[in-house]
């Protein structure tokens, strides 16, 4: 690789697309109550078209890079499709078990952490998936750290609003910690809702 070829490009990208989750029944409890949603086929184009405040492009994945893509359980197949459209190949996933507090797998299995049940037609949702994919050489030292002790399961509570209530679709702090422990920056978050130090963030609720 020529020196400087990936200069200014992101090694790790995290995205939480607004999947077309409308909920059902007379009581609408889907994501459409909280923010505008996107049809699956529009999501890759929106991500690739993300721009900074100065109009410059944000979708600049490095030749060797990692993608973390949140997908609701209903939209798992769509998430895999979006990942392919973005030029990444699926490797594995990180299940987020929605605990009432942060913890680890041992505490969950021991019954020390209660799990929060969400909505669902067939089963009450208690977890969400963060899909992990790579572009180029995913095991390149340029993008992957030397940590070998990280598991896939994240046990954590929802992110909270300033008033202490749960933030809809708010992803937990341990997710970012897990990503930073395994994947190197520069970091980009798309469809972000809160700015994070050390990351470039883009979304309707904040300025890139």
Q: What pLDDT digit, counting tens, does each position of 89-126 carry?
A: 999 999 999 888 877 777 777 677 787 877 778 888 88
> Could you tell me the end-to-end alpha-carbon distance of the chain, in angstroms, rounded to an integer?
29
φ/ψ bin of 23: left (φ > 0), alpha (ψ from -120 to 50), beta (otherwise): left
81: which 2 tokens? Answer: 């499709």
**For residue 191, which phi and psi values (nearest 5 degrees)?**
60, 30
> Quick check: 62 pLDDT over 80?
yes
Domain boundaries, the chain: 11-202
Q: How confident is residue 154, by pLDDT bands cut at 50, 70 and 90?
A: very high
Looking at domain 11-202, which CATH architecture does it have? 3-Layer(aba) Sandwich (3.40)
What percent of the chain is modeled with pLDDT above 70? 82
Compute the distance between CA of residue 152 and CA of residue 95 in angstroms, rounded to an integer: 7
φ/ψ bin of 120: left (φ > 0), alpha (ψ from -120 to 50), beta (otherwise): left
List the 89-98 sheet strands across, edge first. 154-156, 89-98, 127-135, 61-71, 10-15, 187-190, 199-202
Higher per-residue pLDDT: 31 or 137: 137
Element (H, E) at 116: none
Name the residue with tokens 């008033």.
163
Compute the distance between CA of residue 15 and CA of residue 18 in angstroms, rounded to an integer: 10
Name the residue with tokens 């029944």.
25
φ/ψ bin of 86: left (φ > 0), alpha (ψ from -120 to 50), beta (otherwise): alpha
Q: Looking at residue 77, what is its pLDDT?
A: 97
Q: Could you count the other beta carbons within 10 Å of the beta carbon of residue 117?
A: 11
Report the pLDDT averaged over residues 9-31.
76
Contact between 17 and 82 under an 8 Å Cβ cutoff? The reply is yes
């Amino acid at each position: 690789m020529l020196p400087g070829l990936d200069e200014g490009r992101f090694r790790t990208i995290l995205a939480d697309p607004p999947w077309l989750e409308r909920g059902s029944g007379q009581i609408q409890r889907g994501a459409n109550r909280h923010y505008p949603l996107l049809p699956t086929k529009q999501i890759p184009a929106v991500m690739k078209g993300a721009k900074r405040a100065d109009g410059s492009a944000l979708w600049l994945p490095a030749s060797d890079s990692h993608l973390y893509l949140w997908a609701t359980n209903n939209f798992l197949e769509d998430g895999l499709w979006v990942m392919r459209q973005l030029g990444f190949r699926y490797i594995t996933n990180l299940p987020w078990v929605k605990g009432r507090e942060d913890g680890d797998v041992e505490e969950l299995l021991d019954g020390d952490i209660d799990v929060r049940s969400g909505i669902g037609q067939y089963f009450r949702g208690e977890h969400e998936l963060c899909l992990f994919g790579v572009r180029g050489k995913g095991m390149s030292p340029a993008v992957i750290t030397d940590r070998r002790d990280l598991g896939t399961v994240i046990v954590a509570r929802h992110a909270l609003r300033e008033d202490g209530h749960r933030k809809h679709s708010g992803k937990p702090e341990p997710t970012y910690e897990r990503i930073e422990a395994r994947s190197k920056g520069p970091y980009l978050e798309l469809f972000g809702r809160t700015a994070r130090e050390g990351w470039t963030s883009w979304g309707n609720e904040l300025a890139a």
